[in-house]
Each structure stands twice: as C-alpha cells, then as structure tokens.
Amino acid sequence: MFKKILIANRGEIACRVIKTARKMGIATVAIYSEADADAVHVDMADEAVAIGPAPASQSYLAADRIIAACKETGAEAVHPGYGFLSENADFCERLEAEGIVFIGPKPKAIRAMGDKITSKKIAAEAGVSTVPGHMGLIEDAEHATKIAAEIGYPVMIKASAGGGGKGMRIAWNDAEAREGFERSRSEAASSFGDDRIFIEKFIEEPRHIEIQVLADAFGNCVYLGERECSIQRRNQKIVEEAPSPFLDEATRSAMGEQAVALAKAVDYQSAGTVEFIVDRNRNFFFLEMNTRLQVEHPVTELVTGLDLVEQMIRIAAGEKLGLAQADVKFTGWAIESRIYAEDPTRNFLPSIGRLKRYRPPEEGQGGDIVVRNDTGVAEGSEISMFYDPMIAKLCTWAPDRIKAINAMSEALDRFVLDGIEHNIPFLSALMRHPRWREGRLSTGFIAEEYPDGFSVSPPDGEERILFCAAALAVELVRGKRLDRLPGRLGPPSGDFRREWVVKLHEDYVAVQVVRGAVSVPLELELAVEGAGPVTVASSWRPGEPIWQGQINGNPVAIQIRPVLNGVRLSRKGRAATLHVLSPRVAELDRLMPARRVADSSKKLLCPMPGLVISIGVKEGQEVKAGEVLAVVEAMKMENVLRAERDCTIAAVNAAPGDSLAVDAVIMEFA
C-alpha cells in the first residue's frame, strides 16, 4: 500500500479523497493555485504545494508542475479526482514514465473511452446498445446540417472530448444545427483544447441512468447498480439517486452486464461509470464511459456500503477486488443534491462571492435517516469565477425513496448559506414537486416543469399560517430582548400586546395571542385569521439563522433573515418577507404608496459575472427578436444573450475581453 499520495485536484473531491486516505493511514499532499491558498483542502492535507496562478491551465492542468510536486514531496501515487486531468491519458503515461502510480485506469482505456466516437465503435463491437448517429467528424456548419437531416431531427451535437454538459447542443432544425455546431465547437476548443464534433439522434423523453463498475488488474469486474441522473439543466446534473425508480430487475441486470462487457473490452482497471440513455420503454443506449470517479458516487456508496475511493486506491496498489458480483447488496435509497453557486431565479446563472455564512445540516445517522455532506468550503471561503460553481453535495439515505426525499427536504431547510446566490430554494421546491416524488422523470424535467424559469413561490394554505405564526413568535422574542438592552427606556408595564397584524407581501393577517407569555422557551396558543387555534413552541433566540420549533405539534425548521422592520422566512422552496405590526400601524401601512421598480427594458444587462466573448451588433444597427446580441462566458459555459424584441442599438458599452459584474450594462436600445 502507498505511504503517500498527491491529490491533483481541489475543492470537495480533494477533501473527499483526503478523508479516505487518512482512514487508510496514507499521508496526503494537496496542490493549490493562488486563488486556493486558503482553501479547505489545503488545510486538510498533510502537505500542500503551490502549483501556479488561478487559471486552471496554469495550475491544476499543469502536468509538469504536478509531477514536480510529486517528486518534491515523495508522493508515490496521484489521485486525479474528477475534471482537470482525471481523464487525460498523456498525463497518466507521463506519471508512469516517472514511476508514479495513477490512481485510475490505464492510458489505453482512458484514450479509448475518452473519445466519444471511438468509444461508441468499441461499445458496438462489445455488444453494447448504441444510439443511431454519425460517428465521423463534422467538418463545418453546412456538413452538420446535412448529417442532421440524414439522421432526422431532433439531433444532439456533441464535442468528442466533451463532458460536464460543455460542448453539447440539441438541434430541431437546420438553423439550430448550424448555430449549435458553432457554439459546441467553440466551447469544446476552450474547455478541452479539442474542437472535434459529432452528431447523434436525440432520444425524446430520455432518462439518464448510469452503471457504476469496479475492475481490477486480474480480470475481475463487478457492477454496483445504477444511479438515476435525469434531473439536469444545460446537460449538467443537479440531483441524483440510487437506485432508479424506473428500472426493473431485468433491465438493471442487462445494463450492468453490458457495462461490465465494455469495461473488459478495454481492460479497465479502477472505478468507472458507463452512462446510458433510457427511453420510455426501458430501451437503453450507450452514451459514454467516464473513466474516473463520478461526482455522484456518494449515492452508490450509501446503498452498497462500499468506499469507492478506497477501492480505487487498493486496485491501483495492485490488490484484487475483495468482492464478486454475488456479494454486491443494495440497501435502502439515497439522494444527492448538488448545492451550486448559481441563481435559479435567473436561469441558473453563476454567482460568485464570499460565503458569509456556511452552516450545513448536522451529518450522521438519526433513527433510520443518514445525512452526509461532501464539501470543500467553509464559512468565509471565496467562490471564484475560475472554477466549477459547486459548493457541496448534500446526501440523504433512508429505507425507501419517499423517506429519503423527505429527509432531503428537511436537510435543505437546515442548510444555512449566505453571501452568494445559490440553488437551495430550487432544490427545496423540487423535493415537494409531485412529478419528482412520483418518479416520472426525464432529462427534460426542468424545461418541462419550469418553462418560464424558476421563481420562489409565496406560502399558501397551511404554509401561510405557519409563516405568520413563526414571524410573530420571532418578533415577540426579539422585542423582549430589545426591551432589556442597556440604555433604552424601561420595558412597557403590564401584560404584553396580544393583538397583532402580520403583513405577508400585500396581505394583512390578524393574529391574536390567546394564551402564553413571552419567554425562552416560548409556548403560545394563537388565533390566526383564516385558521383554527395554532400552538407554537420554540427555543429560538435572536441571531440564530434557523427558527426551529413545533407548530401544532409538528417539528418545523424555517430559514430566517432580518430585513428592515421585519423578517425574511423561507422553507421548502417557499419564501416571504413578513412584518409584524400593531393594528394601528397596519391600518396606516395600508395607505402607503407601493414602490415602483426601475425600468430596465431599454438596456441589456449582464445576467451574471463573466467574460465577454463576443459582441454581435454595433451602434445604430437594427436587430430582430431572437438575434444574438452578445456571448458571455462564466465558469466555462458560454451564454448567448439574444434580443427579446425588434429594436435599434443605441449604444454598446462593452467589448470582447471585458470582465463584467452582474447587471453591468452591455448595451442600450433606442
């Protein structure tokens, strides 16, 4: 077994590998760029080596510097994590030439499966079901439209060396095929240094289901069941689960056997994932093989009890697999939610900044529920524009799917994250979505269920009552604390006020305290307009970001943030700003004029922090709705900004190469 390994990665996956290495008694070496000097993985490792400037091409992709770090520290092996150099066969060969072990498959397998065109040919020869398509390279946009028409629309345009949703476009007609080819080729060149493109048939109502495999150097190979990864946006996974609610045992076995056959065909050695597209009739087609550890590997670990990082290290050290296919057992259900630094209310555009608060839910087992949080950040960490926007991977396990979903919903309510925009509100809303809970999924789920984008809904029904009760409970405790601060007038004499009005947006709800006193712990009985008696019990104290207690005997956790003269509450994807007023103040408040939002319809605002790639128009030009105005890149993804209506360009305020902040004015319209 190795005595010391270097992790050629950053963030949560570097921390994940360090945890297992520590458990195995293996010393670890972290590498870091200038942007990551204070990162969590740097503190966790036994040693750390500076590797270069912030851009990945000058640090985490700099093979020479990583090899030099191995020699400097005496690291015997390198774990690449995922992304960066994890599927780079040349890097693997260079390590081998230096006598350093690559904790992953051999170069032959990486090279064969890393090229989507070659991998499909090998898969077909191994008896694996493949999607109809054109396996040759596409020369230009006109060639792309010709091939697409021959296959039949819709088609998927893909970068041969692609991954992570980059370099992928769906085309439904010739115009989309031309533009999709140009965008895919541009993204592929900038992300992978390889602009080769191919086209295949797009499967409608598809599910993305993948099979985890483990293989050693002695010809032993097993599959560890499947992961359902159909909840995606822009071809990037957001939520994964194991097992899939769609597969039956026969389909699961057939997919597993084909995945093993493909792994053996390329002499695979390590953990790997064979991805399939599955149609509505459970027909499945090979998509690609990821020759590395997957982001979503924790759900497989939770249902099998295996540590996949440990298995990778043992295989790389020359050990045989310690289990046969008959030894693989599945228990319960696991779900993973990817916590991203992005704004779901603005089409999931990236967000950057400092984590002013970062307090994930408590990990571990409680009853028949397990909560796990894989992360590489801490309170105060900076989310940079240079790297992937993932903050953490929150996982829950339970005996069945609905319990696992409910556990995830509760855990998300207890995940405190301030300082940047994030997707927790969307994930929380998803956990209560009927179609998700029923397991009726496809990769088009988000586009189909949120055609106009995601917006945070205000509470209704029972949630409305719950929000009003919690807001009053907060105000009573906070008010009593303020009364006792030094330097203030003495607290009011006599009993506290029992008649209140809670303003929830433009709705005024009368609330009366029927029984109880203001204290901590708080126990009250309320009469809420539009509802029966409501009991409230809580030990919340001012300053705590989560209000926890019981309402009508049911446990409740609500995110709470102070706003001017009120509170902002959020729970299960719903949120509202509430103000607790006396009846007289509420009466006067109704007379106040509403504030008007500034008109920005004559400006193109930058929707996220990013780099201007191109400006497609010039001052004075007349444009039609749908025409490309600009392309802005953020976190390795190109975002095309189009005209929403016919207009004339009055001024262009940005140029290619400019770095822009959110809402920076790119251009103005006449």
pLDDT tens string 626-640: 899 999 987 667 889
| CATH code of the domain covering residue 215 | 3.30.470.20
Cα–Cα distance for residue pair 650/391, rounded to 1 Å: 40
535, HSE (Cβ side, Cα atoms, 13 Å): 7
**249: number of Cβ within 10 Å:** 7
Q: What pLDDT sits at residue 636? A: 65
Q: Is 157 helix (H, G, I), strand (E, B) or coil?
A: strand
Cis peptide before 533 (omega within 30 of 0): no
- Which residues participate in catalysis according to the annotation? 288
Q: What pLDDT sits at residue 533? A: 92
Cα–Cα distance for residue pair 50/58, rounded to 1 Å: 11
Neighbour-count burial for 500-526, b at 16+ CB within 10 Å, e otherwise: bbbbbeeebbebebeebebeeebebeb
* 457 lies in some domain: no
User: How large is the C-alpha radius of gyration of the chain?
Assistant: 27
Q: What pLDDT sits at residue 29? A: 98
Tokens of 329: 């057992």
Could you tell me if 299 and 335 are in contact, meaning their C-beta atoms sit under 8 angstroms apart?
yes
Cα–Cα distance for residue pair 107/93, rounded to 1 Å: 6
Q: Residue 325, class by beta-carbon neighbours within 10 Å (0-12 exposed, 13-18 middle, 19+ buried)? A: middle
Question: Do residues 400 and 471 both lie within one domain?
Answer: no
Segments in the chain below pLDDT 50: none
Question: Do residues 439 and 533 both lie within one domain?
Answer: no
For the stretch 179-226, pLDDT in tens is 999 989 888 887 778 888 889 888 878 999 999 999 999 999 999 999
Question: Do residues 241 and 110 both lie within one domain?
Answer: yes
Name the residue among 275, 279, 327 with its Cα closest to residue 304. Answer: 327
> How far does Cα 664 stand from its chain's mean position?
26
Name residue 211's amino acid.
I
Could you tell me if 299 and 308 are in contact, meaning their C-beta atoms sit under 8 angstroms apart?
no
- Count of the separate structural domains present in the chain: 6
| CATH code of the domain covering residue 184 | 3.30.1490.20
Question: Do residues 190 and 88 both lie within one domain?
Answer: no
Q: What is the mean pLDDT of the chain?
A: 93
Parent domain of 551: 462-485+495-589
Q: What pLDDT sits at residue 86? A: 96
Which residues touch 556 (CB under 8 Å, ≥6 apart)?
466, 470, 547, 548, 549, 550, 571
Cα–Cα distance for residue pair 462/480, rounded to 1 Å: 28
Name the residue among 537, 540, 538, 416 with its Cα closest to residue 478. Answer: 540
Domain end call among 554, 589, 624: 589
| CATH code of the domain covering residue 649 | 2.40.50.100
Could you tell me if 199 and 138 are in contact, meaning their C-beta atoms sit under 8 angstroms apart?
yes
* 284 lies in some domain: yes
Question: Do residues 126 and 274 both lie within one domain?
Answer: yes
Cα–Cα distance for residue pair 29/70, rounded to 1 Å: 8
Tokens of 38: 């204070």
Cα–Cα distance for residue pair 76/78, rounded to 1 Å: 7
Q: Residue 23, class by beta-carbon neighbours within 10 Å (0-12 exposed, 13-18 middle, 19+ buried)? A: exposed
- List, in sequence order, every residue forming a beta bridge with 157; answer none if it has no partner: 169, 199
Tokens 């207690």 belong to residue: 549
* 362 lies in some domain: yes
Cα–Cα distance for residue pair 82/79, rounded to 1 Å: 9
Question: Do residues 114 and 218 both lie within one domain?
Answer: yes
Question: Do residues 160 and 177 both lie within one domain?
Answer: yes
* 490 lies in some domain: no
Question: Do residues 263 and 403 both lie within one domain?
Answer: no
Question: Do residues 319 and 422 both lie within one domain?
Answer: no
Question: Do residues 256 and 120 both lie within one domain?
Answer: yes
Cα–Cα distance for residue pair 257/637, rounded to 1 Å: 35
Domain end call among 331, 365, 392: 331
* 544 lies in some domain: yes
* 116 lies in some domain: yes
Question: Do residues 176 and 317 both lie within one domain?
Answer: no
Q: What pLDDT sits at residue 189? A: 84
Helices 89-97, 107-114: crossing angle, 10 deg rounding? 170
Question: Do residues 248 and 121 both lie within one domain?
Answer: yes
Q: What pLDDT sits at residue 505? A: 86
| CATH code of the domain covering residue 91 | 3.40.50.20
* 378 lies in some domain: yes
* 260 lies in some domain: yes
